[in-house]
Amino acid sequence: MCEAPLLLIVIILMALVFDFTNGAHDCANAIATVVSTKVVTPRFAVGAAALLNLCGALMGTEVAKTLGGGIVLPQVVEGSHLLVLAALLGAIAWNCITWYYGIPSSSSHALIGGLIGAAVCEAGFWALNVKSIVVKVLIPLVVSPVAGYTTGIFLMWLVYWICARIHRKKVNTIFRRMQLVSSGCMAFSHGLNDAQKTMGIITLALVIFGEIDSIEVPFWVKIACACAMALGTALGGWKIVKTMGSRIFKLEPQHGFTAETSAAMVIAGASLIGAPVSTTHTISACIFGVGSTKRLSAVRWPVAANLVTAWVLTLPAAALMGFIACKLLQWALG
C-alpha cells in the first residue's frame, strides 16, 4: 500500500483534476445560449464565465457537506484510503468519454455514481447513507429538470405576454443586453453548486485519512477548488456548447435569457438547501421548456432523447467505473 500522506496528496490532485474537467465539461451550461445567440464573442463569454464561476465557488458550503457526508457514512469507510481515489477515477473516466463525444451528461451524476460504486467495493452496501442519498441527492437530481422545464415554460409565457405589443427587433435588442446578466447569473450559480461537490469529496478524504474530524470544508480547499473550476471553464467545452446552444432548439435572445434565468433560479435554490443538482440537466430542461412554448416541433426531440439516454446511463455507468477502479487499485496497491 502507498504511504497514506502520499496517497492523500494524489487524491487531492485527482479531485482538482475532476474539478478542472467539470469546469471545461460544464462550461457550456453558462455560455451556450449567449454564444449561440451571438450576444458576445466566445472568447469574452468564456472569460466572464470563468470569473463568475470562481466567485460562485467561494460562496457557501452546504452542497459540499452533502457530498462529504450524505452519500457514504464516514465512520464506516474510515481508513478506506482508496475509496475517494477510485470514485474520482470513475467520474473522470465518464466525464472524458462524454466530453470527447460532445454529450452534455451530468458531472454530478458521474461523481455521485463513482463514489457509490467505490464505497460498495470498499465496504459493501451498508457503507451507503441510503436515506440521505434518496432525500438529498436522488430526489433533487430528478426534480431539478422538471422544475427547470416548468419554470422555463412559465417565464417564457410571461416574456411573451410582456412583449406582445413591442416590435420584434426591439425585443431582440433588449434581450441581447439582458442576456449578459442572465448568463452571468448562470455562471455564478454553476460555480456555487458544482465546485462545492469537489470540496465535499476532498473534505471526505481528509476525514478518512484522519486529517480533520468532521465534514467542515477548510478554507484552502475552497480556494483550490474554485481556482481549478475557473481554469477549466476558461478552456471551454466547444463541442457541448454547440449541442446545448443550437441542436436542442434554435435560440433567440429572449429564449436564451429565459432559459438562463430559469436555470440560475433552480440551481441557486438547490444550492441554498445543500442539494447537489445537475446543472447540465437543469439548463437542458429549461431550453426544452422555452422551446416548447413556441411549438413542440421547434424542439429537436431526437437530440432530447439522446440527452435523456445519457442522463439515465451516467449514474450506473459511473458507479460501475468507480467499482472497477477500486478493484484495480486494490489489486495494484494492495
pLDDT tens figures, 142-169: 898 899 999 999 999 999 999 888 888 8
| pLDDT tens-digit series, residues 267-297 | 999 999 888 888 878 888 898 888 888 776 6
Q: Is the pLDDT of residue 247 over 60?
A: no
Report the Cα–Cα distance between both ends of the chain, in Å, rounded.
5
Task: Give the pLDDT of residue 37.
Answer: 64
Q: Alpha-carbon distance 236 to 294, whole Å?
A: 30
pTM metric for this prediction:
0.84
% of residues, the chain, pLDDT over 70:
87
Q: Alpha-carbon distance 87 to 119, whole Å?
A: 8
The one-letter code for the residue type at 147 is A
Give the length of the chain: 334
* Chain centre distance of CA 145: 13
Residue 236 CB contacts under 8 Å (≥ 6 apart), including other chains: 24, 27, 31, 42, 46
Number of domains in the chain: 1
Q: Which of 274, 275, 279, 289 is nearest to 32 (CA)?
A: 279
Q: Say if CB 57 and CB 226 are below 8 A apart.
A: yes
Q: Alpha-carbon distance 253 to 205, whole Å?
A: 43
Owning domain of residue 216: 4-333
Q: Alpha-carbon distance 11 to 209, whole Å?
A: 11
| pLDDT tens-digit series, residues 100-139 | 776 667 877 888 999 999 999 988 888 899 998 898 888 8
Q: Alpha-carbon distance 119 to 133, whole Å?
A: 13
The one-letter code for the residue type at 206 is L
When comparing pLDDT for 311 and 324, which is higher?
A: 324
Average pLDDT score over the chain: 84
* Burial (CB count within 10 angstroms: exposed 0-12, middle 13-18, buried 19+), residue 170: exposed
Question: Number of helices and strands (H, E) in the chain?
Answer: 15, 0
- Which segments of 209-252 does DSSP mark as H helices, in order? 219-235, 238-242
Q: What is the DSSP letter of 97?
A: H
